[in-house]
Amino acid sequence: MAVNNADHVLGVDIGGTGTKCAVVDIKKGELVSERFRLDTPQPATPEAVLGTMKKLIDDMGWKGPIGCGFPGLVKDGVVRRAPNLDESFTGFNLVEGIKSILGASIVCVGNDADAAGLAEARFGAGKGVNGTVVMVTLGTGIGTAVIHNGELLPDTELGHLEMKGKDSEHWASNSAKERNEWSWKKWGKNVDNYLAMLEYLIGADRFIIGGGVSKKPEKFFPFLKKVGCEVVPATMGNLAGIVGAALLAVPEIRRSSRSAASRRRSTKKS
Ligand code: BGC
């Protein structure tokens, strides 16, 4: 697929269970190609995950810029932690890995929830909202994106806040619901406790709930009683991850998401 439009970027969303991609118009926040998906390989080692990405992208024949959402903490292209993928990802230079396997020159990688949050803030349930908007994705893990007046504070990992002596993901992720076969009511109350804690700690004005469960808000929103701010479902569905991944490759967004260390390095050079 030839790149004939500077606004077109390939968005790749690596998830705990599936890896999805499509070409995105970053100005409109819309897909301009079909959406492709393959299962994320298990064990999800860097080699296996890169192999899956290569298959997806080679099949599309994409040769342009790539933005990639990753389910963990990535700093300057290097994975620091990926709780729901293989341990061997720790310390792996994902940007270099993608560049070398795909021969792509522009590759930007960031956290998957940050990507989804950016997309929702620009084009979805957070569009035009001032104050502190927090996207919370309830999937295999819990991902968070904190956006204040439209600007992302990158790399928050608030799904790992401790709740009742355990990681919050243990109580409020969708995989916890499925693993424990909890009813919507039981799980919904856990989500309520989690969001109430987050709202208190971060002063959230609006939560946007993402992940597959956001398609069924009527099942658990009635149990969200303690949380003191507005809670809305994501409106972009499973497109937010792909659109947001592509947004990570937009220079202004990339700059605001870089780590302080990398900013210090480039200031010294100039
Ligand atoms: C990871 C986050 C990620 C979330 C959703 C968590 O386990 O720590 O970085 O955003 O899962 O994939």
Is residue 54 located within the same domain as residue 131?
Answer: no
Three-state DSSP at 211 gives coil
* 101 is a domain residue: yes
113 lines ligand 1 (CB under 6 A): yes
Q: Which of 93, 71, 67, 95 is nearest to 82 (CA)?
A: 71
Give the containing element (helix H, strand E) for 256. Answer: helix 251-257
* 42 backbone dihedrals φ, ψ, rounded to 5°: -125, 130
248 domain-assigned = no
> Is residue 89 in some structural domain?
yes
Residues 132, 108: one domain? no
Residue 265, pLDDT score:
53
191 in Cβ contact with 172 (< 8 Å): yes
Count of domains for the chain? 2
Report residue 168 as tokens: 């919050």
For helices 239-247 and 112-123, the axis angle rounded to 10 degrees is 90
Q: How confident is the model at residue 245 (pLDDT cuts 50, 70, 90)?
A: very high
Residue 260: per-residue pLDDT = 44
CB 143 near ligand 1, within 6 Å: yes
Q: Decide if 91 is inside a domain.
A: yes
In a domain? residue 251: no
Considering the domain architecture, whether residues 100 and 135 belong to the same structural domain is answered as: no
Q: Which of 75, 86, 89, 111 to mutate to test the pocket of ligand 1 (most atoms within 8 A of CB)?
A: 111
- On whether both 103 and 139 belong to a single domain, the answer is no
Report the nearest atom of ligand 1 relative to the CA of 137: 5
Pick the more confident residue, 258 or 229. 229
112 lines ligand 1 (CB under 6 A): yes
Q: Is 151 part of a structural domain of the chain? A: yes
pLDDT in tens, 104-143: 888 999 999 999 999 999 999 999 999 999 999 999 999 9
Q: How far is CA 187 from CA 81, 218, 225, 232, in A?
A: 26, 13, 13, 17
For residues 103 and 140, membership in a common domain is answered with: no
pLDDT confidence of residue 4: 66
Q: What is the mean pLDDT of the chain?
A: 92
| One domain for residues 71 and 141 | no
Q: Do 43 and 87 lie in a common domain?
A: yes
Asked if residue 169 is part of any domain, the answer here is: yes
> For the chain, how long is the longest CA-to-CA vector?
57
The residue to which tokens 């993928």 are assigned: 85
pLDDT at 258 over 50: no
pLDDT value at 97 more than 70: yes
Helix (H) or strand (E) holding 136: strand 132-138
Q: Helix or strand or coil: residue 17? A: coil
Residue 120 lies in a domain: no
* Residue 23 belongs to domain with CATH number: 3.30.420.40
Any ligand 1 atom below 6 A from CB of 157: yes
Residue 110 Cβ contacting ligand 1 at under 6 Å: no
Cβ-Cβ contacts under 8 Å for 193 (sequence gap 6 or more): 163, 171, 172, 226
Q: In which domain, by residue range, is 228 found?
A: 125-233
Distance CA 256, CA 158 (A): 20
How far, in Å, from the CA of 83 to the mean position of ligand 1? 7
pLDDT band per the 50, 70, 90 thresholds, residue 2: low
Judged against a pLDDT cut of 80, whether residue 15 lies above it is answered with yes
**CA separation for the pair 191, 174 (Å, rounded):** 10
Are 134 and 228 contained in the same domain?
yes
Helices (H) and strands (E) in the chain, counts: 10, 15
Same domain, 153 and 82: no
The pLDDT, as a whole number, for residue 254 is: 58
Of 65, 81, 112, the residue that ends a domain is: 112
Same domain, 58 and 148: no
Where do we find the tokens 């990753």?
70
Is 82 a pocket residue for ligand 1 (Cβ < 6 Å)? no
Residues 102 and 154 in one domain: no
| CB of 168 sitting under 6 A from ligand 1 | no
Q: What is the DSSP letter of 243?
A: H
Best residue among 80, 134, 142 to mutate for probing ligand 1, ranked by most atoms within 8 Å of CB? 142
Segment 247-262 shows an average pLDDT of 65
